Amino acid sequence: MDNKLVLLSVQNHVGVITLNRPEVGNALNLAMAKELMEVAIHCSESNEIRAVVITGAGNKFSVGGDLKSFANEGNQIGSHLKSVTAYLHQAISYFARMNKPFIGAINGVAAGAGMSLACACDIAYASEKSKFVMAYNKIGLTPDGSGSYFLPKIVGVRRALELMYTNRMLDAKEAYEWGIINQVVPEEELMSVVHELAEKLASGPMEAYGATKKLFYQSLQETLESQMSLETQSLAERANSEEGREGISAFLEKREADYLKFNKE
């Protein structure tokens, strides 16, 4: 891809997305949001990519929105932000809905939309030097980038509001304790640890990952009985799929399942 602000590399079925504006802490502007959406579409459609990792260039993940570029729009700032968030939100929707694990490698500060993006990952690992802050209310704004959707579901409404009202900054250890990240990793080991995880997941049952993600998101709006009905339907479909038949056969034959043979390259 020709993108310069959001880079994508692919190795061993793992797509690594790098937010690439290190000179401004990978702040998100209109051009970067558009490129992120384009990369999200490519990742969701590519048969070569079976797991996706997102990280930031330099020593920060993302400091959030590029406020300087927003302010330059003057009275058109509202219209401009609608364009920025249209691209950003579509990108996050593709990441959330694709049948592929979406893994965050949070390599430094994740603020504002950067923290929202970290929360939108299926799994997130962070370096010991990473820090997390919502930051929106401090400048009189409200969250975007799915922050108001994922954060309260991860930490609970009261803690989410505390983070919003007080702009409290969490270090990596606190973010782990609050459930915002899955694991804290030494800075120099972050990408190798995350890539190892991504490669392992990339060899797994991708369609089952997608169906599981869908079930989890649906559970937020279903009753107990309706959710169990969806579980029954999904389970039956998965058991009768190529992945399901291979997984069951491999278990009974005491061998490793080969899900990569179903990859449509």
Specify the amino acid at residue 29: N
Q: What is the DSSP letter of 53?
A: E
Residue 142: per-residue pLDDT: 97
Q: Are 204 and 17 in contact (CB under 8 A)?
A: no
At 18-46, the pLDDT tens digits run 999 999 999 999 999 999 999 999 999 99
CA distance readout (Å), 253 to 137, 245, 249, 257, 262 = 56, 12, 6, 10, 19
Neighbours of 261 (CB within 10 A): 8
- The Cα 99–Cα 195 span in angstroms is 18
Q: What is the DSSP letter of 149?
A: H
Predicted TM-score (pTM) of the model is 0.95
Residue 265: per-residue pLDDT: 55
Residue 263: per-residue pLDDT: 82
Q: Are 57 and 19 in contact (CB under 8 A)?
A: yes
Question: Can you tell me the mean pLDDT for 145-150?
Answer: 97
- The Cα 218–Cα 173 span in angstroms is 30
CA angle 122, 70, 25 (to 5 degrees): 50
More confident residue, 264 or 95: 95
Catalytic residue among 89, 122, 171, 258: 89
Q: Among this protein's residues, is 13 annotated catalytic?
A: no
- The Cα 24–Cα 177 span in angstroms is 29
- The Cα 207–Cα 100 span in angstroms is 8
At 66-76, the pLDDT tens digits run 999 999 999 99
| pLDDT of 99 higher than 70 | yes
Catalytic residue among 13, 66, 122, 144: 144
Residue 43: per-residue pLDDT: 98
- The Cα 134–Cα 230 span in angstroms is 34
DSSP, residue by residue, 149-180: HHHHHHH-HHHHHHHHHH-PPEEHHHHHHTTS
CA angle 56, 57, 58 (to 5 degrees): 115
Q: Are 175 and 81 in contact (CB under 8 A)?
A: no
On average, the pLDDT of the chain sits at 96
Q: At 2, is the pLDDT very low, low, confident or very high (cuts 50, 70, 90)? A: confident
Nearest partner of 163 among 125, 112, 103, 210, judged by Cα: 112
Q: At 1, is the pLDDT very low, low, confident or very high (cuts 50, 70, 90)? A: low
Nearest partner of 99 among 54, 137, 52, 56, judged by Cα: 52
Q: What distance lies between CA 7 and its chain's CA centroid?
A: 15
Q: Among this protein's residues, is 2 annotated catalytic?
A: no
Q: Are 202 and 13 in contact (CB under 8 A)?
A: yes
At 198-221, the pLDDT tens digits run 999 999 999 999 999 999 999 989
Quick one: what percent of the chain has pLDDT higher than 70?
Answer: 99
Residue 3: per-residue pLDDT: 83
